[in-house]
Amino acid sequence: MDQKSTYRTSVRRATVQVGGSPSNMYRPEYQVEQFGLQASPRDTSKIWELMDSYQGSDKVALQQSIVHHVEYTLARTRFDFSKFHSYQALSHSVRDRLIEAFNDTNLHFHQMDAKRIYYLSLEFLIGRCLQNALVNLDLEDDYREALLELGYKLEELYDEEVDPALGNGGLGRLAACFLDSLATLNYPSFGYGIRYTYGIFKQLIKDGYQVESPDFWLNQGNPWEIERLDVQYQIRFYGFVKKVWDHGVERSVWEGGETIMARAYDTPIPGYNTQNTIALRLWKSHPASEFDFSSFNTGDYFKALEQRQKAEYITSVLYPNDSTDAGKELRLKQQYLLVSASMQDIVRRFKRRKVLDWNAFPSKVAVQLNDTHPALAIVELLRILIDIEQLDNMSAWQIVTKSFNYTNHTVLPEALEKWGVPLIEKLLPRHLEIIYLINFLFLEKVQQKYPNNWGKLSALSIVEEEGTKKVRMSNLSIVGSKFVNGVAKIHTELLKTTIFKEFFEMHPNKFQNKTNGVTPRRWVRCANPALAALYDRVLGSDKWVQDMEQLKQLEPNATDPQFVRDFQMIKMENKERFVHWIRKTCQVDLNIDSLFDIQAKRIHEYKRQLMNILYVIYRYLVIKESSPEERKRIVPRSVCFGGKAAPGYANAKRVIKLINSVADVVNNDHQIGDLLKVVFMPNYNVSNAQIIIPAAELSQHISTAGTEASGTSNMKFIMNGCLILGTLDGANVEIDEAVGRENIFIFGTQVEDVDNMKEKMRNTDPHEYFPQELLKVFQEIDNGRFGHNEELRWIIDSIRHKNDNYLVGQDFKDYIKAQQQVDELYRQPNEWAKKSIYNAIRSFKFSSDRTIQEYAEEIWQLKPIKVPEPAAQKHERVKGITLSKSQQEMADKIKN
């Protein structure tokens, strides 16, 4: 495990050895005058002197800091603290070190007048923080050693941390991977989101059904966040718009209604092997004042408190819908709270610059909209610029359209957000006016380009006129943005040719592709330390963690017997860890020698977990019918499913029930034994994904072509040396290109044929449309082989009456064939291992570092700015930075 001393290339040491004893490294020092404090008569040199060095990272310093927090933060006695207290004290100790880097980063960016990227997202699925922080700070081994002497194993303390689950699935996890890459690549950046009191529900399985239980993740406190009592903004809802005349100009004033406060909570996000540590700033709603004095004075004390509770309710719960639009008023409030607080914060930061020049705004601010959920930010910035900063409409519009960019994450119609005009009018009356203004300006351009073309006008309009008027958030996002991007090549092509066709024809240069990526820090270095150590050893350093292309050098190793054996051993260890976890969580014993076949993702009809479980039934029936001789040749499989269903999504919930019903029968069938096991892993989340993914040998990404925008777990699985069984959909298409067709199992209808196949499905007698193998499976379910449960039949009914919209029947035969190829290959362990290795070492394209670099260069025009490294000598430390000539030139160039 102790690879650091040999392979780490860390620049982050906080302690050096001077004359045989540890000495702390020095921090940079900045000019206070530049922070708007010049009026202060206070001499701050003493403070700079007192805080001139970083906290130590030698063993004694770490131990002292842990016991210090046991006593002074937790108020426990130093001789009596539990594992959980130990986790808490450790976290506070790590947090101290994070905060130093975090503060220096903020000072540095400010001093450099950096352009920043602001990533706005309703979801950040960051997962546990402790191990990630230790790895990125290069302190994991030091703390491990320090803790051992205190009687604790570091790895055991990792399990004490709750998993902050402030997201649904891929979209929120992508945002978290992006923050890690932004910090690691030294890009000045901020994540802005919501601090939900309740994250995504915890999934329990009772009698085979999903049961949702609230996730009150803050129950035991959260050592990773910093509450900013001084960073609060007023947020208004409802009310009315008053028009006033001011020096011959009509101005709008939004008044009345309700106001609440949004308060900032910062989580420092450290980069790997760099001082740069950025902020994830999450907003929580608070009452505007402690009491409503009018109710208080009339003696209605409880009414006053009720008001307080109402305000806090806004950020209390994450909507548990993945890729569907809930359309609820409270959700709109959440969205507006996020964008209003964030835009106020961004404007405040911009206004701290020495000269106020609004035209410079786009050269200092780039905002990325993670889907349309924060699209109102466009309107909110306009409101601030026009109504508060008193810019004219056109100047404000110019600034906005140069600052915003929008990422689309789905083409599914049910996910495209639309808000009813009456709701927006009631909740945000001034914003509705501004939306109409934008739409008017935009449609004038459309009219110029396509005179009297009503088809174009109605497709492009931000406001949908049919039925109850609605605001189309994607149209608003496109019109208000400089660039729009999809998240995988095939997805971007679909945007251009289907849902955003008219926009693409009008503004072809607005559209870009940015294929998603995942961070190798969490998904290889943290989740699979043994594989990471193998890479370190063979490559001679850990540089690959920051530069995944280094893995190219391992091409010859894929056929080196020793490397293959090492790889197989690592997979075996990861499988053992997984078996242990499955035994504990599911009470099922898996055969370690069986093929570990995993499908873990949100349950959705388009992702076709149904096809997978129907195939499992087919496989079960085949085994049942096999002779003892035939059985000997059957490859044993453990098929594991994981994923949550949205609480209101009946079909998805029924699929979970079907999986569990099949598991019940198969796992208890003594004739089957170890040849087949079926498991539903409850409560799939980031922390158990870190156990599941490294253990997988086959992973399934089998969505109907054209439905999965990208998928990102496919990337995590291949990075951990796993083969994919998948369709040519989302990022699978690029994975296929990267790893080579001989190293992936591809099947199914291709995107260009999907419409024809659906047509065929609707026009064919189901008995002809569905293959015999599948009809047999239907029959067994109908006959009650997996329980006499009406619901199980309803699931089949959802596809068997010419309503198989996701083409399960169409693709089933090809799927069986691909599954046979899987079995064939698994019979040759070395071949299997070699192909798995090719997947791992050819996965470098799917590092989120590559993705973020593309965003930075092609969308944000953003340059990295590195915070000075700790100095060993006092005179070496950086003092009062001023821009160098080249930095100044760069800053001028970026200005547009």
Binding ligand NBG by CB under 6 A: which of 345, 605, 708, 811? 708
* 654 vs 352: CA distance, rounded Å: 55
* 170 is a site residue for ligand NBG (CB under 6 A): yes
Minimal distance, residue 482 CB to ligand NBG, in Å: 20
Asked about 767 being catalytic, the answer comes back as no
- Dihedral in degrees, nearest 10, Cα atoms 727, 732, 733, 739: -120
Query: Would the CA dihedral through 242, 337, 321, 205 be positive or negative?
Result: negative
List the interface residues with ligand NBG, window 871-890 (CB under 6 A).
none
Minimal distance, residue 180 CB to ligand NBG, in Å: 15
* 3 is a site residue for ligand NBG (CB under 6 A): no
* 653 vs 646: CA distance, rounded Å: 8
Of 32 and 166, which CB lies nearer to ligand NBG in the complex structure? 166
DSSP letter (8 states) at residue 32: G
Q: Total binding residues for ligand NBG by CB under 6 A?
A: 18
Q: Which of 514, 653, 716, 758 is catalytic?
A: 716
Of 412 and 816, which CB lies nearer to ligand NBG in the complex structure? 412
Q: Which of 202, 409, 431, 482 is catalytic?
A: 409
* 705 vs 533: CA distance, rounded Å: 37
Asked about 670 being catalytic, the answer comes back as no
- Burial of residue 791 (number of CB atoms within 10 Å: 0-12, 13-18, 19+): middle
The terminus-to-terminus CA distance of the chain in angstroms comes to 50
* 104 vs 99: CA distance, rounded Å: 8
- Sequence-distant contacts of 196-199: CB under 8 A, at least 24 apart: 196/166, 196/315, 196/316, 196/317, 196/318, 197/284, 197/312, 197/315, 197/316, 197/317, 198/316, 198/317, 198/318, 199/164, 199/165, 199/166, 199/167, 199/318
Binding ligand NBG by CB under 6 A: which of 377, 487, 586, 675? 487
Q: Which of 407, 712, 727, 749 is catalytic?
A: 712
* 247 vs 137: CA distance, rounded Å: 56
What are the residues facing 368 on neighbouring strands?
119, 405
* 409 is a site residue for ligand NBG (CB under 6 A): yes
Q: Which stretch binds ligand NBG (CB under 6 A): 170-178, 669-677, 738-746, 866-874?
A: 170-178
**Per-position x/- string for 283-322, each x denoting binding to ligand NBG as judged by CB under 6 A, each - no binding:** ---------------------------------------x
Residue 281 neighbours by CB under 8 Å, 6+ apart? 190, 191, 192, 193, 231, 264, 265, 266, 342, 345
Binding ligand NBG by CB under 6 A: which of 320, 730, 771, 870? 730
- Sequence-distant contacts of 34-40: CB under 8 A, at least 24 apart: 34/110, 34/111, 35/107, 35/110, 36/352
Under a CB-based contact definition with an 8 Å cutoff, are residues 435 and 424 in contact? Answer: yes
| CB half-sphere exposure, 652, CA atoms < 13 A | 21
Minimal distance, residue 643 CB to ligand NBG, in Å: 12
Minimal distance, residue 459 CB to ligand NBG, in Å: 22
* 135 vs 251: CA distance, rounded Å: 53
Asked about 716 being catalytic, the answer comes back as yes
- Burial of residue 212 (number of CB atoms within 10 Å: 0-12, 13-18, 19+): middle
Of 319 and 563, which CB lies nearer to ligand NBG in the complex structure? 319
Binding ligand NBG by CB under 6 A: which of 131, 197, 203, 516? 516
Of 307 and 703, which CB lies nearer to ligand NBG in the complex structure? 703
Of 709 and 840, which CB lies nearer to ligand NBG in the complex structure? 709
Binding ligand NBG by CB under 6 A: which of 93, 323, 344, 848? 323
* 132 vs 690: CA distance, rounded Å: 12
Of 712 and 819, which CB lies nearer to ligand NBG in the complex structure? 712
Binding ligand NBG by CB under 6 A: which of 193, 223, 362, 711? 711
Q: Which stretch binds ligand NBG (CB under 6 A): 169-177, 394-402, 682-690, 816-824?
A: 169-177
* 709 is a site residue for ligand NBG (CB under 6 A): yes
Minimal distance, residue 371 CB to ligand NBG, in Å: 6
- Burial of residue 400 (number of CB atoms within 10 Å: 0-12, 13-18, 19+): buried
- Dihedral in degrees, nearest 10, Cα atoms 46, 52, 58, 61: 30
Tell me the two tokens of residue 46.
């003493």
Of 203 and 321, which CB lies nearer to ligand NBG in the complex structure? 321
Binding ligand NBG by CB under 6 A: which of 32, 117, 134, 171? 171
Under a CB-based contact definition with an 8 Å cutoff, are residues 185 and 271 in contact? Answer: yes
Residue 168 neighbours by CB under 8 Å, 6+ apart? 123, 125, 200, 318, 320, 321, 322, 602, 644
Q: Which stretch binds ligand NBG (CB under 6 A): 285-293, 705-713, 801-809, 881-889?
A: 705-713
Minimal distance, residue 473 CB to ligand NBG, in Å: 12
**Per-position x/- string for 415-444, each x denoting binding to ligand NBG as judged by CB under 6 A, each - no binding:** x-----------------------------
Under a CB-based contact definition with an 8 Å cutoff, are residues 549 and 503 in contact? Answer: no
Instruction: Please count the helices (runs of H) and the strands (runs of E) in the chain.
Output: 37, 24
Under a CB-based contact definition with an 8 Å cutoff, are residues 785 and 664 in contact? Answer: no
| Position with the least CB separation from ligand NBG | 170
Of 222 and 516, which CB lies nearer to ligand NBG in the complex structure? 516
Asked about 409 being catalytic, the answer comes back as yes
Of 411 and 678, which CB lies nearer to ligand NBG in the complex structure? 411
Radius of gyration of the chain (CA): 28
Q: Are strands 202-206 and 365-370 parallel, antiparallel or unpaired?
A: unpaired
Q: Which of 76, 97, 470, 601 is catalytic?
A: 601
Q: Which stretch binds ligand NBG (CB under 6 A): 2-10, 451-459, 708-716, 857-865?
A: 708-716
**Per-position x/- string for 334-373, each x denoting binding to ligand NBG as judged by CB under 6 A, each - no binding:** -------------------------------------x--
* 727 is a site residue for ligand NBG (CB under 6 A): no
Of 144 and 373, which CB lies nearer to ligand NBG in the complex structure? 373
Minimal distance, residue 731 CB to ligand NBG, in Å: 7
* 605 is a site residue for ligand NBG (CB under 6 A): no
> Torsions phi, psi of 319, nearest 5?
-70, 125
Q: Which stretch binds ligand NBG (CB under 6 A): 164-172, 459-467, 753-761, 818-826?
A: 164-172
Residues classed as catalytic: 409, 601-602, 607, 712, 716
What does the binding site for ligand NBG look like in residue numbers (CB under 6 A)? 169-171, 174, 322-323, 371, 409-410, 415, 487, 516, 708-712, 730
